[in-house]
Chain A
């Protein structure tokens, strides 16, 4: 069974450009999470969806960040315009339910570098 699939694995772009990160959750999972990993703050939850609906986006750093989940099998995290401080590894994860103790299954991440 395929795990969580993220693309691209690596993204290098110039400051000011739009960046779109993509995620395909595990089939049947109804909760999807976006995280950002940095050395200083570890894994930070940016936003999560239940049944394609955004539930908590309090972790989204600012208006330059937006996330969508148009259907149960696809989500995007967009940064526009991008800045060097956005450089990090971004992870997507999915689980059966967010409101439970079900462990989350993570993708392998997108390493984003903004020059």
Chain B
């Protein structure tokens, strides 16, 4: 059973616009949330994270929002650039120190 769901397998956005990637999780015991970015033929690389005690974390063009009541996590990229085209995975860590990854969303930024 998927503990973490990314319901949009793909997303296309115009360069310069905002990209919003979404992630839903099932267990309120998750206490740390991460986003990874993956290019073809490479491993995922860490992008940004947020602790459950916060609802927002920003790093340059990337902002992660956490809505604990809705068990929802989102990643905003603004402005989007063609180099942002990749697969984005959300990941969660629970208090039992178990990691779960979503199935990924493929983002295409159109020049």
Residues of A within 8 A of B (CB): 4, 33, 35, 39-45, 48, 56, 91, 93, 98-99, 101, 103-109
Question: Which of these, A39, A42, A99, A108, contacts B97 with CB under 8 Å?
Answer: A99
Question: A109–B98 contact, CB under 8 A?
Answer: no
Please give me the 9 A-B residue pairs with the lowest Cβ-Cβ distance, nearest first. Answer: A106-B43, A42-B103, A103-B46, A43-B101, A101-B32, A99-B97, A106-B44, A108-B43, A107-B43
Question: B102–A42 contact, CB under 8 A?
Answer: yes
Question: Which of these, B44, B93, B97, contacts A91 with CB under 8 Å?
Answer: B44
Q: Which residues of B contact A93 (CB under 8 A)?
A: 43
Question: B43–A91 contact, CB under 8 A?
Answer: yes
Question: B97–A43 contact, CB under 8 A?
Answer: no
Number of residue pairs A-B, CB distance < 8 angstroms: 55
Q: Which residues of B contact A41 (CB under 8 A)?
A: 2, 103
**In the bound complex, what is the Cα–Cα distance between A33 and B43 (angstroms)?**
13
For chain B, the count of residues having a C-beta within 8 Å of the partner chain is: 24
Give B70-98 interface residues, CB cut-off 8 Å to A. 89, 91, 93, 97-98
Residues of B within 8 A of A (CB): 2, 6, 32, 34, 36, 41-46, 49, 51, 89, 91, 93, 97-104
Shortest A7–chain B CB gap in Å is 13
Q: Which residues of B contact A105 (CB under 8 A)?
A: 45-46
Question: A103–B34 contact, CB under 8 A?
Answer: yes
Shortest A40–chain B CB gap in Å is 8
Shortest A60–chain B CB gap in Å is 14
Question: A43–B89 contact, CB under 8 A?
Answer: yes
Question: Which of these, A40, A101, A109, contacts B43 with CB under 8 Å?
Answer: A109
Q: Which residues of A contact B93 (CB under 8 A)?
A: 101
Known contacts A101-B32, A101-B49, A101-B93: does B44 contact A56 (CB below 8 Å)? Answer: no
Question: B99–A106 contact, CB under 8 A?
Answer: no
Question: Which of these, A33, A40, A45, A108, contacts B42 with CB under 8 Å?
Answer: A108
